[in-house]
Amino acid sequence: MKGNIYIMPRINDLTEDRQLFIKLRICLIMQEFMSSLNDYYIRNETCFGYPAFNQSIALSYDNNICPNEKLPFSQKEIEENESSLKDIKKQIIAFRY
């Protein structure tokens, strides 16, 4: 802590297991976000009104909808994230044992 500002260590300065857990958490958050936004879009056919999105963010997502799937995130993106999750979990298990 410096004054009232917390200085976040760079990920390279953290231990390898800590880096893996941070990457895992990021992938889990992204998975939840992608699924949640896709579900919202299916119900409402727009990203406007999605919690924590202002109009400009919602508009940018609406303008970048995957044309083949008509969703903010394609199935391929979700599967790639799931694959990353599995890889990170394997690395954590291998690191722990």
Query: Is residue 4 in a domain?
Result: no
Partners of 5 in the β-ladder: 2
- φ, ψ dihedrals at 69, nearest 5°: -105, -15
Q: What is the pLDDT of residues 9-31, one digit of tens each?
A: 565 656 887 888 899 999 999 99
Number of independent structural domains in the chain: 1
Query: Is residue 1 in a domain?
Result: no
pTM of this structure: 0.77
Q: What is the pLDDT of residues 37-92, one digit of tens each?
A: 999 999 999 999 999 899 999 999 999 997 788 899 999 999 999 999 999 999 88
The residue range of the domain holding 35 is 23-96
3 state SS for 16-60: HHHHHHHHHHHHHHHHHHHHHHHHHHHHHCCCCCCCCCCHHHHHH
- pLDDT at residue number 68: 82
